[in-house]
Chain A
């Protein structure tokens, strides 16, 4: 049987006969939840038409269900919200505050922000965070790469180039958040990772063949043992990015909406474009990817990293030296490629402060912009 090969996917609107009727008569579509007010938006997640209030309620309620069912917090805990000034963390801060009051979580909330030292991006977004602090009346703590490591991202990019700089930023930020959390004596950190982020991570780990991360990346909260480690969770894990934008827009929240200037060259961009295309074909694809990720299982006998501690700073690490220390060492010695790629044998040498051979130095210096 010959299928018409050029049949393209048409956007199927799922509406009841009644609303079809109303649309035909050019009458306003009613909200499918309260059926009283006029619908002002269509949910990207389920394609239902909702009015503003019902959408807010549905969105907040979903986050509440996530928090309660996954048992993310305990009564009386101090929770640090990772705030960057972007839409995810602004919405997270807002929703956490609303739910904390509405459902009596009994949490003490504060804002934690990291200054990577990217001019034209981070300094502007930090201003937004400071405004958030006033708007939500939450205490704020800012930690910067400069004071923790002695390097700003701008300086790092000058040394490393434009291809692998996201590695540095991500690794340093993780530690920076933990350090900040410990300074404030926080019990848990929550970040604004949304469904799109988690789905992208699953796809990226498959493309990169990173089986260890693939297993862990869909977990909603991280493990809570270990010295100097503050457990983290993602309350917005099942919220679509588009819905977060809609929420922020309709609530008129104050957020900073520019992308990091160094991001276009990251590998994650490929996974992101793919995911966006998937969403265009089938809107539920984002949740489907997360569902697949949660149901993956790794064969026994596959080599997995074992958790230990770093020889130099005591942070958790699966190697002799934690990634942060390795990267920092590379930067300080003018060997930017020390953290990129696999040089496990050299960790021992660095730990013991032994000089590297000429050959090793040459390999670690080469940078392609």
Chain B
């Protein structure tokens, strides 16, 4: 007889498939409708309770949002942020003792030239308008119930469409968006500057993104610009908190791709619950405990409308950019090892920033120009960064006098291959950036395509630094008299 049967008879039992209980594990009465993890089968009502409870518990545990505070909800239209929106609405409409007590506003950033107005989006829009009028009251109102007539217009006032200031962020959308917006009788917010959307703005932005060579850097830059926009809106409109709809799965992917991009120093702020790096405006992520599976189920079962807007990485190949690669890696690994996402999430909870950013102005020069996290490019002890600099130096012309800190690229041999003046401005900008923003900038061919506000801030910081060391600088006028080879 076959050896297997004799020796391993006992051990080779057929694998016992886990039996799903027919009753909800929580109330033990109703039948289950869905399974979240192995062993967690819920009925409809209990699932809803569980979902809502998680949101409130996340806000309550961390206690960063105070009653009456103005909170900006960053809604992209996708499932997670739509879910967050519905949770906020749900929380605001509760009875007095358990009510969420803050004043929300919504920001949506339109990244497409032709704004996609589909039926779904309109449904989403009307859903937003159906926010209860109590939303508009800041805290306790003396008069009690607000007049219903003004609620529609007022709700619209709080809904901020694609608005960008003329001198700051060149606009992305085109005439199409404008006409659609007027059809829906929207108003630009009255205390902001209403700027006409010009084709020059579109061109400027197209040029910016065309000058970035790799998709990785494009996505990174887009993300940074979006953050700046949200921050700016929050500041000008008087919001002290911003809520982002990042789910657990998305944050796990973000953590891993940030490690791959070199953003290890700011992992805690990028993926933690609260992000205090901007000082006056704090970014919170209340959805970080929800896996995308839970959100998808909830949206489907309770009819939360959401919209898919294609982004930079839609339909891109797996290896197009680091972010895309990480996403496909984590999702594939998750199928074989179901605890991957939650393990990564737990790891992120245990981290904190190596050098916590300060709020005061004097420390501003120690923060990165683009991502506003603390600079991690100190050359104190021997590190990977220093090793990279040494490699660069050693691979170029020998004996050309290398500097020990700074790593300036010499001559036209290396670098972008552009003329010397652009090489010099690269160097200037690099010293103001953190390690990974430097990598992004390195992939850009035309640095002057960056939005004006970035370039002027860079100039301001440079002159501030120059002021600090002015007493040690030799007189510049003498230098200019000598003809320069590098004519910058």
Contact = CB atoms under 8 A, between A and B. Distances in A.
Interface string B110-124: 011110000000000
Interface residues on A, range: 35 or more
Given A5-B315, A66-B382, A287-B384, A299 B351 contact: yes
Contacts of A293: 259, 264
Interface of B: 11, 111-114, 172, 202, 205-206, 209, 213-216, 218, 255-256, 258-265, 267-268, 310-322, 325-326, 329, 333, 340, 343-344, 346-347, 350-354, 376, 381-388, 390-392, 394-398, 412-417, 435-436, 439
A250 B385 CA distance: 27
Given A66-B382, A291-B384, A16 B347 contact: no
A342 to B, nearest CB: 15
A62 to B, nearest CB: 6
Contacts of B111: 1
A6 interface: yes
A347 interface: no
B387 A3 contact: no
A291 B392 contact: no
Interface stretch (A78-86, A136-144, A274-282): A274-282
Contacts of B435: 288, 291
B387 A209 contact: no
B384 A69 contact: no
Contact of A62 (B11, B312, B343, B387): B387
Contacts of B259: 202-203, 206, 289, 292-293
Contact of A288 (B218, B316, B325, B439): B439
A172 interface: no
A134 to B, nearest CB: 32
Contact of A2 (B113, B215, B353, B414): B113
B265 A295 contact: yes
B321 A206 contact: no
Contacts of A32: 395-397, 413-414
B321 A281 contact: yes
A46 B396 CA distance: 10
Nearest to A273: B329
A43 B388 CA distance: 13
A365 B157 CA distance: 68
A96 B113 CA distance: 59
Nearest to A299: B352
Given A32-B395, A61-B394, A296-B354, 7 more contacts: A6-B316, A6-B317, A32-B396, A33-B394, A69-B382, A282-B216, A291-B435
Interface of A: 1-3, 5-9, 12, 14-17, 20, 32-35, 43, 45-46, 48, 50, 54, 57-58, 61-62, 65-66, 69-70, 202-203, 206-209, 211, 214, 220, 238, 270, 274, 277-278, 280-282, 284-285, 287-299, 302, 366
Contacts of B352: 297-299
B157 to A, nearest CB: 27
Given A2-B114, A66-B382, A206-B347, A45 B391 contact: yes
B170 to A, nearest CB: 10
Contact of B395 (A5, A46, A299, A366): A46
A282 B322 contact: yes
B107 to A, nearest CB: 18
Given A3-B312, A33-B396, A296-B267, A274 B343 contact: no
A5 B316 contact: yes
Contacts of A2: 112-114, 310
A6 B261 CA distance: 22
B343 A208 contact: yes
A14 B436 CA distance: 19
B206 A1 contact: yes
A351 to B, nearest CB: 29
A57 B265 CA distance: 33
Contact of A66 (B314, B387, B395, B412): B387
Contacts of A54: 395, 398
A197 to B, nearest CB: 14
Contacts of B316: 5-8
A214 B216 CA distance: 26
B414 A48 contact: yes
Contacts of A282: 214, 216, 322, 439
Given A58-B394, A277-B319, A292 B172 contact: no
Contacts of B398: 33-34, 54
A277 B332 CA distance: 14
8 contacts: A1-B205, A14-B417, A32-B396, A70-B382, A281-B216, A281-B320, A282-B439, A288-B439
A1 B162 CA distance: 13
A46 B392 contact: yes
Query: What 9 A-B pairs come out closest when comparing CB atoms?
Result: A292-B264, A288-B262, A238-B387, A48-B395, A295-B265, A69-B382, A297-B354, A209-B343, A291-B384
A285 B325 CA distance: 12
A294 B264 contact: yes
A7 B390 CA distance: 33
A15 B417 contact: yes
B474 to A, nearest CB: 31
A184 B145 CA distance: 87
A291 B314 contact: no
A207 B343 contact: yes
A207 B344 contact: yes
B193 to A, nearest CB: 22
Given A214-B347, A280-B319, A289-B259, A5 B394 contact: no
Contact of B319 (A45, A281, A291, A366): A281
B445 to A, nearest CB: 10
Contacts of B351: 296-299
Given A2-B112, A5-B310, A288-B260, A58 B395 contact: yes
A57 B397 CA distance: 13
A208 B268 CA distance: 18
B419 to A, nearest CB: 10
Contact of B260 (A6, A62, A289): A289
A34 B218 CA distance: 35
Given A1-B172, A33-B397, A287-B388, A7 B215 contact: yes
A33 B395 contact: yes
A5 B216 CA distance: 13
Nearest to B435: A291
A168 B100 CA distance: 54
Nearest to B113: A1
